[in-house]
Chain A
Amino acid sequence: MVTELTESTFDKFIEDNKVVVIDCWAPWCGPCRRMTPIMEELSAELSGKAGVAKLNVDDNQAISIRFGIRAIPTLLIFKEGVLVETLVGLRGKEDIIEYIETM
């Protein structure tokens, strides 16, 4: 399951999971809508290995500003609470998995 994050749940989710993938998205963005099924599949495949979540940048602008997000979709990848990668643009599931496995 892809966890829907907000400004108030964001930090705790990163704290609670060793590896975290967050899809920063907005409903009007075509490529973001295409990320939705990819994130769902990713969530199933990474179950127990990583926390998979999404964040609506329109409703949570403080997070967008904090991470300097200026394009969506943007994937934020955290390891042990630290941002290790920012991937901009639509990505295939295999690309993301490969990145996490070689991290």
Chain B
Amino acid sequence: MNADVVIIGCGPAGLQAGIHSSRKKADTVIIGKLQNSALYNAHVENYFGVPGKTDGSMLLKMGLEQALSFGCRHIDLNVIRAVAEGDAFWITVESGEEIRCRSIVIATGISRMKLGIPGEKELLGKGVSYCAECDCNFFRGLKVAIIGGESKAAVSAELMTRYASEVYWVSKDISADKMLVDRAVKEGVKIVSAVPAEIKGGKNVESLLLEDGREISVDGVFIELGGKSSSDLAMDLEILPEADDSIKIDNAGRTSVAGIFACGDVTGGPYQMAKAVGEGVVSGLNAADYAKGLK
């Protein structure tokens, strides 16, 4: 598939960028799941012109419909890969589909990394990891569990089959695309339908306790929530994120790489819808201009 502008992220910043990009007649594709936006489970009561408590999911659904009405296309999946090639970019989504575009808007928000269960903090670096790609080599011949239900967990589980002796993918609610799940299972990943309750260990991780009372003996626990994180995505595209994972932009929404713009929570605080949509306008308009200028 070809597009002028690809917007990664389907929260208020990404949707607003999509609205402005498509109204500038740029062929625009928004990639991401509405429910991954921080706004989805929140209420808004401080947004200009919207009095009372307004349901975030309702705003997002209306925003998506609005973007589609201006000609945006929407892919309800996570991005698993992004790469620059000449003056274009290739984006791969979890179904394997590739989109070639002229310009990218990163509007992924802030990635939630932590699970918040006992043992997670205490055993960090002693078997608990948030980066399978970084730490896979330390678990050669060992047993590991991957926690998370989306594309990041699926990709990490498949990767770990090349290193670990056993890979358990623990999730009660797998929503990664079937293609990714099938690929992981084919490589020998064992799916455990359960909710993790506690990571146990002493000097190192020894087991993962599940809410249903089962306990899996493992040497490593990889917490891989959501889709590809904004910082990993940025690194793939040769953008160096800040130490706090935010992506620096100028007042035109431009990142350090030509053709790549960013907006919303991913650029830093305040984490407010008004700020997100404001930056979305700027990034969407400038990404559309950039893409059309290259034609």
Contacts and interface: CB of A to CB of B under 8 A. Distances in A.
A74 interface: yes
A28 B136 CA distance: 11
B243 A86 contact: no
Contacts of A31: 131, 134, 231
Contact of A89 (B124, B204, B241, B244): B124
Nearest to B243: A92
Contacts of B69: none
24 contacts: A26-B134, A28-B133, A30-B131, A30-B134, A30-B231, A30-B232, A34-B240, A38-B243, A58-B137, A68-B204, A69-B125, A70-B125, A70-B127, A70-B220, A71-B125, A71-B129, A73-B134, A74-B125, A88-B124, A89-B125, A89-B130, A91-B243, A92-B243, A93-B243
Nearest to A69: B138
B235 interface: yes
Contact of A37 (B125, B130, B204, B240): B240
Interface string B131-148: 101110111000000000
Interface of B: 124-131, 133-135, 137-139, 203-204, 220, 231-232, 235, 240-241, 243-244
7 shortest interchain CB distances as A-B pairs: A88-B125, A92-B243, A29-B134, A71-B125, A30-B235, A70-B138, A71-B129
A43 to B, nearest CB: 16
Given A38-B243, A92-B244, A93-B243, A71 B134 contact: yes
A63 interface: no
A64 interface: yes
Contacts of B235: 30, 33-34
